[in-house]
Amino acid sequence: MSKFFSGLLGLRRGPWEMLATILIALGVFMLMQPFALVAYTYSFIVTLVGTVMFIIVSHFRE
Amino acid sequence: MSETTIERAAKATPPSVARKIRGLSDRAIAWIFVGPSIFLLLAINIFPLIWTINLSFTNFRANRPNREVEYIGLRNYERILTDSDIWLTMQATAHFLFWTIALQVVIGFTLAYLINKKFKGNDLWTTIIVLPMMLSPAVVGNFWTFLYQPQIGLFNYIVSFFTGLEPSSFEMIGSVALAPWAIVIVDTWMWTPFVMLICLAGLRSIPDYIYEAAEIDRASKWRQFWTITVPMVLPFLMLAVLFRGIENFKMFDLVVQLTGGGPGSVTELTSINLKREAFEKWRTGYASAYAIILFVTVFGLASIYVKALNKVKER
């Protein structure tokens, strides 16, 4: 876990890509879940942030 | 000594053309080759995307081209993301996605595992299993509509044979409870072979010596399956899941042919709903915002897909 956080602080691609992947997956889940309309409302912004982050961090060094 | 292809091509080039080409740098020649592709990419993909993003901030209606177009900011996005009907459409899509992927993975992997065993007629069975995947979705939708007919449909008779129910006592396409399952069954029937092929590629990539080493260590077949087969096929399986997930998120043709989104709107998936907004209600600006939301979702999933693909390549 500490390796993950030090990777984030050191702007390493692996942990940041992982974070972006989690955000995208969370956004897609929020979009399609049947439990809360408010989660559906904020799903797009979460997916968008995850996707943009993924594009940016894929240029970080390994 | 025989001439090489390059030398033959050089000799065949007319002197006037050769003179022109000789004056171009390598970079210029590269641009001549790549240019048409870039132009087509910009014209067919990038320009419509930018135009759709632009329209998504307006109240434009394509059936009223002369009406003044107003920029309304993020109002279209706000309406879509607070609309409970669209939320229900997303849930219908989620139901379809979850069950098709779950069934396709389980059945596809099982079939691949069986086909991977060496037996007589192996190739023939592979061809037969792969056949549904080669059919057009319109054809599949049409003939499953006949199979689901309550009076004459073969599907109802098979179900009645196993359950004892009257064949005409249930309607797969006409019933609110059964219609979502009807589309899941057809998609699973059509696309399980695809998952099977990917799993088969994964199974065939496992070297025999790993199993031989496990045999020497006296590992049981069950243990070999869980500690060798499953972990080594997992990246391929993940790839299949992501690929089918992205494809089924955009599912349109098969479902339109089968149920048309009905009864009511229980099988109205997002792409069908989007088409209604764009080409039946003619709310072009609103539909553009809807399309952008779906695009970002699919693009995000595709990014994960590319990452998974690279991991498989690294193996």
Q: Which residue has the tokens 């059936």?
A: B63
- In chain B, the residue whose alpha carbon lies closest to the alpha carbon of A52 is B300
In our burial notation (b when 16+ CB lie closer than 10 A, e otherwise), range A17-54 reads: bebbbebbbebbebbbbeeeeebbbebbebbbebbebb
Q: What is the residue-wise DSSP string for B115-149?
A: HTS--TTHHHHHHHHHHHHHS-HHHHHHHHHHHT-
CA distance B232 to A3: 26
Angle of the B84-115 helix axis to the B179-204 helix axis, nearest 10: 40
CB contact B295 to A (< 8 Å): no
- Please compute the mean of the pLDDT values over residues B119-131 and round it to a whole number: 87
Using 50, 70 and 90 to split pLDDT, how confident is the model at B185? very high
CA distance A29 to B74: 23
Q: What is the pLDDT of residues B6-17, one digit of tens each?
A: 788 878 888 777
Q: Which residues contact A41 (CB under 8 A, 6 or more apart)?
A: B81, B82
| Distance, CA of A48 to chain centre | 9
Q: What is the pLDDT of residues B126-135, one digit of tens each?
A: 889 999 999 9
Within a domain: A62: no
pLDDT at B313: 66
CA distance A62 to B314: 15
Within a domain: A35: yes
- Please compute the mean of the pLDDT values over residues B70-96 and round it to a whole number: 92
Tokens of B215: 């045999």
Query: Closest Cα partner for A53 from B142, B304, B74, B10?
Result: B304
Nearest beta carbon to residue B300 from set A17, A37, A51? A51
CA distance B3 to A15: 55
Interface of A with B in 1-60 (CB under 8 A): 17, 20-21, 24-25, 27-28, 31-34, 37, 40-44, 47-48, 50-51, 54-55
- Please compute the mean of the pLDDT values over residues B73-97 and round it to a whole number: 93
pLDDT at B315: 65
Within a domain: A10: yes
Best of A13, A17, A26, A32 to substitute, by most chain B Cβ atoms within 10 angstroms, is A32
Go through chain A and tell me how many residues it has.
62
The mean pLDDT value of chain B amounts to 89
Kindly report the number of other CB atoms within 10 A of residue B175's CB atom.
15
Within a domain: A21: yes
Using 50, 70 and 90 to split pLDDT, how confident is the model at B276? very high
Q: Which residue has the tokens 């089968």?
A: B258
CB contact B301 to A (< 8 Å): yes
Please give the span between the terminal C-alpha atoms of chain B, in angstroms, as a whole number: 44
Q: How far is B285 from chain A (nearest CA, A)?
A: 17
Reported ipTM: the value is: 0.91
Chain A residue numbers with beta carbons less than 8 Å from the beta carbon of B91 are 32-34
Q: What is the pLDDT of residues B189-214, one digit of tens each?
A: 999 999 999 999 999 989 989 999 99
Note down the domain range covering A39: 2-57
Q: Which residue has the tokens 């702007």?
A: A11
- Verify whether the Cβ–Cβ distance B303 to A28 is below 8 Å: no
CB contact B87 to A (< 8 Å): yes
Chain B residue numbers with beta carbons less than 8 Å from the beta carbon of A33 are 91, 94
Within a domain: A23: yes
Tokens of B210: 């790993």
Determine the 3-state secondary structure of B71 from DSSP. strand
Overall number of domains in chain A: 1
- Verify whether the Cβ–Cβ distance A48 to B296 is below 8 Å: yes
- Please compute the mean of the pLDDT values over residues A28-46 and round it to a whole number: 93
Angle of the B284-314 helix axis to the A13-32 helix axis, nearest 10: 140
Tokens of A8: 């984030």
Q: Which residues contact B255 (CB under 8 A, 6 or more apart)?
A: B96, B141, B183, B261, B267, B269, B272
Alpha-carbon distance values, B233 to B25, B130, B230, B240, B301 (Å): 48, 20, 5, 11, 21
Residue A10 burial (10 A CB sphere; 0-12, 13-18, 19+):
exposed
DSSP B207: -
Question: Is the model's pLDDT at B244 over the cut of 80?
Answer: yes
Best of A33, A44, A48 to substitute, by most chain B Cβ atoms within 10 angstroms, is A44
Kindly report the number of other CB atoms within 10 A of residue B92's CB atom.
23
CB contact B219 to A (< 8 Å): no
Chain B residue numbers with beta carbons less than 8 Å from the beta carbon of A37 are 82, 84, 87
User: In order of start, what are the domains of chain B with their CATH numbers?
Assistant: 16-55 (no CATH), 76-314 (1.10.3720.10)
pLDDT at B312: 67
pLDDT at B2: 63
What pTM, to 2 d.p., does this model score?
Answer: 0.82
Q: Which residue has the tokens 């992947």?
A: A21
- In chain B, the residue whose alpha carbon lies closest to the alpha carbon of A40 is B81
- Verify whether the Cβ–Cβ distance B90 to A44 is below 8 Å: no
